[in-house]
Amino acid sequence: MSIELAHGTKQNKQQEYIMPIEEYRHRGQGYEPYLIGPRWQVAQLNYMPELSPDAITKIDVHHKTDETFLLMAGQAVLIGAEIHQNKVQFTVVNMEPKVLYNIPKGCWHNIALSEDAEISITENANTHLGDFDFYQLSRPEQKELKKLIKSVWKSKDSLASKVK
């Protein structure tokens, strides 16, 4: 993670002063909370091998916070899940850039990422320190999830034609 301070200049008739503007960037793999306030935090999630569409083996839940996801680069499929009587039911959404997605507290979830994906996440402060539980998916559940992800995953060719 790198935290960079930039300085903006604001002018008024009496004086000129320097106003600090903080910039946050996470260039490595995985999850990095980089702005933690008293009540909320902003983090960045970049690709890591365990979030590849073929590699997801678990889902997680937060009990005290909603969690928002914003696609900044690459491709991502947001996964929501409900567990009833040890049966998992999935919902998958191919994320669009510049659209904010919310996972309400208590909703099981995960995310599949392309190798160039970057996600901005906002949630309660210090969620990463303990407000989570994991559910390990069985092999049949993993196979079902993989199939669902592939059903909405866009090929690079279709993404390129959408941009043109």
What is d(CA 114, CA 133) in angstroms, rounded to the nearest whole number?
24
Asked if pLDDT for residue 11 goes beyond 70, the answer is no
Which are the contacts of 132, defined by CB distance < 8 A and separation ≥ 6? Answer: 60, 61, 62
At 19, is the pLDDT very low, low, confident or very high (cuts 50, 70, 90)? confident
Residue with more model confidence, 150 or 16: 150
Q: Residue 163: what residue type?
A: V
Residue with more model confidence, 37 or 161: 37
Vertex 62 angle, CA 56 and 63, to 5°: 150
Give the Cβ contact number of residue 80 at 10 Å.
17
Asked if pLDDT for residue 69 goes beyond 70, the answer is yes
Lowest mean pLDDT among 29-33, 52-56, 96-100, 153-157: 153-157
The candidate with the shortest Cα–Cα distance to 47, out of 103, 107, 118, 97, is: 118
Residue with more model confidence, 161 or 105: 105
> Locate tokens 């091998």: which residue?
49
Q: What is the pTM of this model?
A: 0.82
